[in-house]
Amino acid sequence: MKDFDSLIPGWFKEFVHVGTDLIWSQYLIGLLLTAGFFFTISSKFVQLRMLPEMFRALVERPETLEDGKKGISPFQAFAISAGSRVGTGNIAGVATAIVLGGPGAVFWMWIIAFIGAASAFIEATLAQVYKVHDKDGGFRGGPAYYITKGLNQKWLGIVFAILITITFAFVFNTVQSNTIAESLNTQYNISPVITGIILAIVTAIIIFGGVRSIATLSSLIVPIMAIIYIGMVLVILLFNLDQIVPMIGTIIKSAFGIEQVTGGAVGAAVLQGIKRGLFSNEAGMGSAPNAAATAAVPHPVKQGLIQSLGVFFDTMLVCTATAIMIL
């Protein structure tokens, strides 16, 4: 990794560093929070009010497409977006938040998940409203489509499409691949090059199989992944039942600075919780709606509810599970 790092020009590193500080600042966080609060109030707390309906919508059968085939089911769309949300941010991100912001950061991750669920509801619903048929008889859509068709801003839709393609192709996926490669290299001395080649081949096979291939694999992997991970946490809790209440108390006290000497500790907990929560659940970032648009559902709102549930699954379940193992 050092040899690769030496190949990167210093100006590019500085550009990325400055750009990250500029974009991932209080301005973007404030914008996402403001949007989340606005959608929460305007929808009359849809993420809480319609919680039972989220689970009912998740297991509904897909609508039949024009070619007579079954479309992508609500659960498959949920699995695709969940596979996108769950990753390094749920493990390393949570650990970083706790190290930099203390246990209280976990509480603020919960809060941002609750607020972000409303944003996820809106963006997924819009993706369904403005989706279009693709050449295979299915659907495609997302922010680029509803920016173009809903706001009548084609240039902005093109810019978004380019940026999200670059982001996922060269940033998000790179982070995940690097984490896998480094872990295998550290534990089993497997060359990162070999890991990278295998990942590239497997990914290509899945992607070139089309959205149905992605949906089928996601609907198999995500439940297995969740069961194994949550199962490990339940085992840990079973052997440490006496620590559950003190742990929750520590999270709450740290979140509001009850035991901290300085007020800065509270700010650090809030900032880290919000940052890591947003990075993890991707609410309002415009990534999940692309998956939401592929689902064949009787009403757009149903997919909005399912994607809200996806935010809860990511943060309230997986991120909390990681925090429990750390604390």
DSSP 138: S
Q: Give the whole-angstrom CA distance, residue 310 versus residue 281.
A: 8
Q: Dump pLDDT digits (tens) for 288-318.
A: 888 888 888 888 999 999 999 989 988 888 8
Question: Is there a domain that residue 194 lies in?
Answer: no
Paired residues of 72 in beta bridges: 295
Given a cut of 70, is residue 69 above it in pLDDT?
Answer: no
Q: Is residue 152 a part of any domain in this protein?
A: no
The confidence score (pLDDT) of residue 266 equals 60
Q: How confident is the model at residue 158 (pLDDT cuts 50, 70, 90)?
A: very high
Q: What is the per-residue pLDDT for 8?
A: 67
Element (H, E) at 119: helix 104-129
DSSP state of 25: S
Cα atoms in the 13 Å half-sphere on the side-chain side of 8? 11
* Residue pair 319/90 in contact by the 8 Å Cβ criterion: yes
Q: Label the pairing between strands 139-140 and 132-133.
A: antiparallel
- The pLDDT score that the predictor gives to residue 37 is 92
Whether 191 is covered by a domain: the verdict is no
Whether the pLDDT of residue 66 is over 70: the answer is no
**Residue 228 falls within a domain, yes or no?**
yes
Does residue 186 belong to any structural domain of this protein?
A: no
Q: Which residue has the higher pLDDT, 35 or 27?
A: 35
Please give the span between the terminal C-alpha atoms of the chain, in angstroms, as a whole number: 31
Q: Is residue 203 part of a domain?
A: no
Please count the other Cβ atoms lying within 10 Å of the Cβ belonging to residue 197: 11
Q: What is the average pLDDT value for the chain, to the nearest integer?
A: 82
Q: Does 293 reside within a domain? A: yes
Region 99-122: what's the mean pLDDT? 87
Structure tokens at 36: 């989340």
Lowest pLDDT segment from 71-75, 151-155, 242-246? 71-75
* Domain ranges, residue 85: 2-141+211-326
**Count of structural domains within the chain:** 1
Residue 132, helix vs strand vs coil = strand
pLDDT of residue 1: 46
Token digits of residue 44: 């009359």
Q: Dig out the tokens for 69 from the structure.
A: 């085939």
CA atoms within a 13 Å half-sphere pointing along the CA-CB vector of 118:
21
Q: Tell me whether residue 146 is in a domain.
A: no
